Amino acid sequence: MTSNNLIDVDDLLTTPNDQSQAPQQTYNFTDDTAEAMKNQQQQQTQQTQQQQQQTSPSSQTSQTSQTSPASSSTTENIKYRLLFEYKKLSEIMIRGLYVIPSTNSLFEWHCVLFVRNRIYRSSVIRFVVIIPDDFPDACPAVKFQTPVFHPLIGMDGEIDLSHHFHDWSADKHLIAHVLCYIKSIFHNPDRFEYPPLNAEASRLMKEDYEEFLRRVSHFVKLSIDNIYENPQHTPIVFSPVEEWPDKQQLENTRNTVLKKEVGILDNPRVRQVLSFFSK
């Protein structure tokens, strides 16, 4: 994801030790594109209601009495907010992270993270961002689909975001903050001293770091070996080169990925990760 006005991810990350230095930016839902989409949708809704009133007044009255306007309006506002936030991702430089909403629901975002350095380097990690019904007032949830050995991630893929985002606010936070936090815990697993969801990983990291690294490496290798095991209903699918019927499409896809990573391709570890697209 690239843009002429990139926002450094470090400006989005806050930890208990540096909250006072982190920029306090308020995100108001005033994006021109999203507002235009919203106004257009409202006009279409009004036109539809007028047509229904003209054709069947009694039916329209019955439907109005059974439907909650407040509930419908809230759902639509959440959808517009999600469209706004997804558009904002194009302005945020989150290297190695790919995000696509589910084809079934805008409230479920599928993600793949390519970890490029530190002890989890070369990992290919899938996870899903689950947006609650009361978003943006409530923080999204994250469920990992790729098994990882990490103190803050349970062996069933659960992670508790309430510690880091204890002061979640619709005016202060975006889903992008969650994505940046997820990336940061793999770059600095010992940076966040939150209650562990994997007690063994937490103990080994503190008491037997060599064994901890060995266990981490085992799961890193598993993530690479199982890269073609695509979860059900995921919009992000990996397949071997020989399964691509259109070789030109394969080449275009690979070039698109490489162009998005301009400026960091000289790193041999990055080339190792991108080798999945160039074999």
35-62 pLDDT tens trace: 444 454 455 456 556 655 665 544 444 4
Inform me whether the pLDDT recorded for 272 exceeds 70.
no
Inform me whether the pLDDT recorded for 6 exceeds 60.
no
Lowest-confidence pick of 213-217, 218-222, 270-274: 270-274
Q: Which of 31, 238, 253 is nearest to 146 (CA)?
A: 238
Which domains occur in the chain, in start order?
Answer: 95-278 (3.10.110.10)
pLDDT tens for residues 87-133?
Answer: 888 777 788 999 999 988 889 999 999 999 999 999 999 999 999 99
Amino acid at position 113, single letter:
L
Three-state DSSP class for 108? strand
Give the H/E segment covering residue 163: none
pLDDT tens for residues 155-196?
Answer: 999 999 999 999 999 999 999 999 999 999 999 999 999 999
Question: 128: which DSSP letter?
Answer: E
Q: What pLDDT does 87 receive?
A: 87
Q: What is the mean pLDDT of the chain?
A: 75
Average pLDDT of span 4-30: 37
Identify which has the larger pLDDT, 80 or 27.
80
Q: Which of 173, 194, 171, 175 is nearest to 183 (CA)?
A: 175
- 164 and 235 Cβ atoms separated by less than 8 Å: no
- 112 and 97 Cβ atoms separated by less than 8 Å: yes
71 token code pair: 């509930």
Task: Please give the backbone phi and psi of residue 181, each rounded to the nearest 5 degrees, phi first.
Answer: -65, -45
- 243 and 249 Cβ atoms separated by less than 8 Å: no
Q: Which of 230, 273, 274 is nearest to 126 (CA)?
A: 230
* Predicted structure pTM score: 0.68
- 128 and 109 Cβ atoms separated by less than 8 Å: yes
